[in-house]
Structures are given as structure tokens and as C-alpha cells.
Chain A
């Protein structure tokens, strides 16, 4: 069995023609590609084969890219348990990989493999054909070794889509290189994100910001007292959306159906009970609790989300970009065998905020080791990518 790939394209479709003809791109089986198994890492979709291409896949093919296969993933892309995302790129089997970023998964997978991981602005890239879980927060992320590859891929997949009306008609489609003058750019450090790090991690993070300061960037410390609420809001709103979204997986038309039920209600209950793994099941239980028992809690979370969004918009007027750590090392080293919701949300503490707000975010490795996370205002993707490219070039020059 292929260790990284869940499915390999038996008929590689790279023609060599088109602007992306030189790229071999891996996906995950929650991105529909006609004729490919699309099980999204779940028994709930066992045996399901996609009927048509997701818009991102169709656009990449149109630009000449070779979609080489789908890698193993966590159930519905939630968390990184059982996920082998980014390994195909690390091993050289693909130049890039598309990974849904629900709470930071794309960026954290890149971090694990020392690669670049990009989550675009919400609404910039069509979600048509993506087998999602948290529709108001997820975005199709891109993992690659370098920022330029990410930029080329984003340029191919971004922009309005007749199949996804939630992409605004004025979504940008051009990401051409923009000059970055460090002397004119300020990077805001959210103090509450920094102080949540372990002492060891904080030393490394501070060293990164010092490096950037020496390169000419202005570093500002910005307070965001309620930063910790982002992951809480994500956890409540995300679980409710997940519970609602996964209602359709009833094992009638695909998925594993448990035999022996006496009626349809029993069949639904037993099949759904058997379909989902423990982590996702606990997430769905939590979502169902808020839906059916504590809806006012969900409504409160939505109100807090709106407030956080407003406060973040205010914050991003005080610096051109934000710079944050991507993860707390202690959370990565938590045992993986019995990953709980608490474990999962501890890992995404520093990343989930951009899924809550819809901002673009970039994980950038630093000197081949722990890197930093950059974020910008919503739809500032072109400038954020330019910033990432500048910093990567700066490192390559040994600055």
C-alpha cells in the first residue's frame, strides 16, 4: 500500500502545456475529482466516487497542472490525526498539495514538514466540489516548498466561480509580484498570542521577529485581550456547522450501512454511529448539543465572532501585517493516539483565528526550522504572498 497516497492518478494528465504544466499537484480525497474516490477520510463516504471536478481541480487542469493523486487525510480534514498532508511534497512526489484549512491544518501540516503553507482569504477560492465540514471557516489551502509556486497556484484557482455564489464577483484574480520595502512595512505582534507560548518557543519566536527587525521591518506589539476567544468561538460555531453539514451522511446512497436495522430511523442511527471516528463524533456531539440543547450558546458565539471580527479589523489598521507563532510546541508533542477535542484545539490555538475572521494566513519556515505565521487583512492575499516571498528570498540570501 502506498504510504502517503490514498489514491494515485493512473493517467497523469500533465501535458506540459500551460503555465502550470511543470507542476505535479497532490490533493486530498475531500476535493472532488471526477472518477476519483472521494471518501474524505471517513467511513461515512466509503465507496463514494466523485461525479465531477471541484472548481479548483478543473482550473488547475485547465492551466496544465498534473493532478497526481490524493493523499491520506484526517476524517473530513479536521485536525491532523492520521493525516499525511505535506509529505508528498516533502518526499518530492509532488510540487504542491491542496489541503483544506479548517482551523489551521494546511499551515500546521506545512510546519511539520518544514514547508510553506498558505490559507487564502475566505471567499477568494471557490469551494465548489470541496467536501467540507465548517463552511463558514474553511478554505482550500496550498502547501509548497516556495512562495512562488503557491502564488502561481493561487492565481490559477482564485476568483469568481459560476458554481459558488459565495465567491464575491470582485474577488481578485491577479497576484503578480509586488515590491516589498521593509522600511515601509510594519508587522504587528499580538501580545496574547506570543505570551501563550512556552518560554522556549517564545525565545525562538522573539529571535524571528528580531531578524525581521534587523532586515528593516517595523515590529509593533499589539494587544488583543480576547485572542483566546478565537479558538473557543471556532470550537462552538465550527462544531454546530459540522453537525449540520454532516447530517447528509446517512449511509443510504454511499458509505457503510450497518445491517439489521428494523426501520429507517434505526438504520440512520446505527449507520451514523458506526460511520464517524471518535474525534469527529465528539465534535458532532458537541455541535448537536449546541444545536438542540443550548442554542443560545451558539448564538452568543456568533455574536462574539462578529465582535472579534470587528476588533481584528481595527487591529489590522495599526500594522500592515500580523506576525504570530504558528503553534505551541507543547501541543504538538501531546500523545497522538487518543487525540481529544481539547488536544486538537490546543494545536490550532494560534491558527484558528484566521478561519474565524476569514483573513489570509501564511506559515513560513524559518532557517529550515520553526517558522512564523503571517496574516493580513481579508483579500490582501497578493501583498501577503509578496511579503512571504520577500522573507523567503531574504533567508536564501542569508540575511
Chain B
């Protein structure tokens, strides 16, 4: 029997707010343990939650960015469960009245067809504390870090529209792009600002059955999500084939062994409305004001890059996927760099160099202004491409201008016809065999001869002029 998967995702996104969701503590979970705490996020007796306006705004923008419909009234509930990372015994979450409903992402499926994947709802909630498990001698101990307790999260709950690991991965990539665009979160699975749980079941292909699902957690990258889903589909299909019943439970993805491992029975705690947290009321005017704050979204930006800068559709989509990349590109063109040059140097030189140095494009020392100055020297033939690559690597390590680096390191291109003539004559005299090959019609010999001249000039010669001068001499 052939099976198909039915998959839904629950995606937690940590909002990049200055403070926690219900108190004024800094929202910096990575600080020294238990530094960012107060009676409210430690849940001491008598403390009361105060909802952060910034968190509501960023969450609302996120919802609008995902095409969801903000609800006029949403409210927090106490989601009851007992665990050491939640010492007040409940998590404040919007179980009954979520912030937004609907929305979704369009992707291209494995067969190359467009596919819409729907969002059921989006709700806000607070993060829990972090447990750190260590050994004290031979005794295992668990420590609790409250820096993360109360950090603002949104949870995006999808419809079970996904049928394959590909669907899930493409959805996550598209969602990540949208959320980064609205600026509500960095949305990085690697850094823990996006966490994904997948609910997976299988059924005979062609049926509409909704069989018992299994929840899979602990995936730290989009790739892991795909791998975990693929494994789980295979595991459940084998179970179904052999008649083994699927039991509702939670499994953990083991990225080293590339398997899912049973963790515990799935637990859904009751949710009691919390009267201490006022409902969030969004008037139509407030929603429209927030909608007006939405930036240009990726699809619209890609379209504009095609029409304004003459990029191909594929190039424009590539640049628009990351708002930092697209922003950098437009900053370069704003400094007068030709779009084609900007596209080429950004994607083939700068981005790989930034990644190699484990930096972020938005925070690197190689600002658009400095990089544009370098590319303009290249455009004016003051340096050649080899020298530009060299200067680029220096720009990461110093605050000097490209011009001063070129001057100090002697990268200025030799474009004096007299000086080039001498170098060419010398090379032609030394490389008679290559000259003969060229004259007999072997075009490759021209590249070899230009390379020899470049070498003789210590890579400073203007290669275009060399080609022109050499062509005249050999005509």
C-alpha cells in the first residue's frame, strides 16, 4: 500500500523586542545567567504581568507580513503544566483568542507547481526559563536560567497542508524571509530565535483520513526539519505497513544518528483565561496604521529590482530573499555602482567573504559606502579585478578607505600604454611558441600571453589594455 504524509508545523518565533513580554527586563537571553530578572519574570508572589506594547506591535506586524487577519480582541490564558523551567505552573499564552487567524505562504512544490500552505492561527506567548544540565562531580544537576523566562514569542500554527519534507522546508524558508522583512525577528533556527515542531501522520494515499499524529521536536535547522520529517514518514509508513498502531506522543530528532527517538506522551495542559492580563483590543484604525508600517515585502521588491535595475527574475528573487542583501544591493546602486557590477561583486565576492568571517552583512565593516568606493575605482580602471579582491580583504581588517589601501599597497593599475608596450614586447619575445600558436588560429594562446604580461606586471597591468595592444601588435 502506498502512503502519504499529513504534516502540520508549530513554529515559535522569538520577537526581537528590547524588553520581555510582561516586564521591563532586557530581552537578552544570552547574557550571564539570571542577570535579566525581576519579581515579575521570576513570578514572585504578588507580581503582575504588564504586556509590552512593543511586543504587541512587532507580533502584529509579523501577522500582517504573513497575510494573517488580526483579531479585534485577543487575550491571554494560563496554560497549565508543571516543569522546572516554568516555576509559576503555567505559561501565559493565547489559547482561546489568538492574535491573528489565517494567512499562509506560497511555495513551489517538488513538481514545480505553485502551492499554497495555510496558517491556522498565530498567537503570542511568553518563553519559559532555560534548563542547563551539568555534572557536579558524579552527581547530575540541573540549573535554571531565567534570562529567557518571559521573552516574547509568537507561535505560528499551520493547517496540516504539508505532504513532504520539501513542503515544510520551502514554507520555513519563505516564512523566515517574510518575518525578517517585517523586522520582528532574526528568525534563525541556528540561534534559537525560530523553533519548529512538526506534527506528522501517514494515511493511505488518496484517502482523507486524519490518523494519529506524532510530534517531533529538537530540529536546529531547516535541513534538520526536512530530515526529521523524512525519517518519521518512513518510520510511520513501516509501522502502518506492519499493522503496528501509531500512538500520540512526542519524539526528539537526533541529528547525529539521524533518527527520531520517543521522548514522552504528548501533554496538552488546560488553559484558563487570565484576568490579570488585559485583552488586546485592536481597532480597525490601529490595524490600518500597522499595515501602513509594513515595509515593501519580498515579492514586490523583487519585481521592482527587475524593472528598476534590469536584473533577471531569478537574480531579483535571490537578492530579495534576504532584506539585508537586497538593502545592501540598493545601497550600492545608490552610491552609483552599476546594477550588474553590484550584483556580481556582492554575490560572488562580498557575501562569501562575510560568511567566511562569520559576520553579518548588516554589521560588517565593509559598509556599502566603502564597497561602492572600491567598485568605482574598478569601474574607472584605477585598479583591476585582482587588486579589487585584495583590497576587499583589507577592508574587513581596517578602517582605511579603499583609495588609501590601494595607494599604500601599490595596487594602482598600470594603464600607461608606453609601460605596457615594453612589458608586451618582452613577453612576445620570450614566448615565440605561443605567438606562433596564436597566429595559427589557436585562440587560447591569447589568454596565456595576457597572463604572462599580468605576471610580469605583478598583477597591476590593465588586462583590457593589454588585450587591445597585443591584438594590434599581432595583427
A residues near B, CB below 8 A? 32, 38, 40, 45, 48, 50-52, 54, 127-131, 135-136, 162-166, 240-241, 243-244, 246-248, 250, 252-253, 264, 268, 291-292, 295, 298, 302
Contact = CB atoms under 8 A, between A and B. Distances in A.
Contacts of B42: 253
B278 A166 contact: yes
A127 B276 contact: yes
Contacts of B142: 264
Interface stretch (B86-94, B329-337, B415-423): B86-94
B46 A54 contact: yes
A291 B88 contact: no
Interface residues of B, number: 27
A247 B46 contact: no
B45 A40 contact: yes
B48 A127 contact: yes
Nearest to A128: B48
B105 interface: no
9 contacts: A32-B45, A38-B46, A54-B46, A127-B48, A128-B46, A165-B48, A268-B82, A291-B80, A291-B272
B250 to A, nearest CB: 17
Question: Which 6 interchain pairs have the tightest Cβ spacing?
Answer: A247-B89, A136-B275, A248-B88, A291-B270, A129-B46, A32-B46
A165 B50 contact: yes
Nearest to A168: B278
A164 B142 CA distance: 34
Contacts of B87: 248, 250, 252-253
A1 to B, nearest CB: 24
A128 to B, nearest CB: 5
B186 interface: no
B318 interface: no
B117 interface: no
Contacts of B44: 51
Interface in B416-446: none
A264 B84 CA distance: 8
B45 A165 contact: no
B277 interface: yes
Given A32-B45, A38-B46, A295-B270, 18 more contacts: A40-B45, A48-B45, A51-B39, A51-B44, A128-B48, A131-B45, A135-B274, A136-B275, A165-B50, A165-B278, A166-B276, A240-B272, A241-B272, A244-B89, A244-B272, A247-B82, A264-B142, A298-B272
Contacts of B84: 264
A295 B270 CA distance: 8
A163 B272 contact: no
A248 B43 contact: yes
Contact of B275 (A54, A129, A135, A248): A135
Nearest to B89: A247
A127 B274 CA distance: 14
B27 to A, nearest CB: 19
Contacts of A130: 46
Contacts, number: 80
A128 B40 CA distance: 11
A55 to B, nearest CB: 9
A289 to B, nearest CB: 11
B47 to A, nearest CB: 8
Contacts of A131: 45-46
B78 interface: yes
Contacts of B116: none
Contacts of A291: 80, 270, 272
Main SS class of interface, A:
loop
A52 B39 contact: yes
Contacts of A54: 46
A33 to B, nearest CB: 10
B134 to A, nearest CB: 15
Contacts of B276: 127, 135, 164, 166
Contacts of B49: 165
B275 A166 contact: yes
Contacts of A38: 45-46
Contacts of A298: 270, 272
A239 B273 CA distance: 13
A165 B272 contact: no
Interface in B248-306: 270, 272-278
B188 interface: no
Contacts of B347: none
Nearest to A161: B48
A130 B50 CA distance: 15
Given A165-B278, A268-B82, A291-B272, A50 B90 contact: no
A8 to B, nearest CB: 21
Contacts of B277: 165-166
A136 B45 CA distance: 16
Contacts of B220: none
A378 to B, nearest CB: 14
B50 A163 contact: yes
Contact of A165 (B51, B88, B90, B273): B51
Contacts of A165: 48-51, 277-278
Contacts of A48: 45
B48 A244 contact: no
A45 B44 CA distance: 11
A246 B278 CA distance: 20
Contacts of B48: 127-128, 163-166
Contacts of A45: 45
A253 B49 CA distance: 20
A253 B129 CA distance: 15
Given A135-B274, A163-B50, A295-B270, A244 B82 contact: no
A220 to B, nearest CB: 32
B46 A292 contact: no
Nearest to A248: B88
A302 B271 CA distance: 13
Nearest to A247: B89
Contacts of A127: 48, 276
Kindly name the residue among B39, B45, B90, B274 whose own CB sees the greatest number of chain A CB atoms within 10 A.
B45
A130 B46 CA distance: 5
A292 B89 CA distance: 14
A162 B53 CA distance: 13
Nearest to B43: A248
Contacts of A302: 273
Interface string B18-61: 00000000000000000000010011111011110000000000
Contacts of A129: 46
A164 B275 CA distance: 11
Nearest to A39: B45
Contacts of B89: 244, 246-248, 250
Contacts of A246: 89
Contacts of A52: 39, 46
Given A166-B277, A291-B272, A50 B46 contact: yes
Nearest to A295: B270
A244 B274 CA distance: 10
Contacts of A162: 50
B132 to A, nearest CB: 14
Interface string B440-454: 000000000000000
B142 to A, nearest CB: 8
A129 to B, nearest CB: 4
Nearest to B272: A244
A244 B90 contact: yes
A302 B45 CA distance: 26
Nearest to B275: A136
Contacts of B274: 135
Nearest to A123: B275
B55 to A, nearest CB: 13
Interface string B70-106: 0000000010101010011110000000000000000
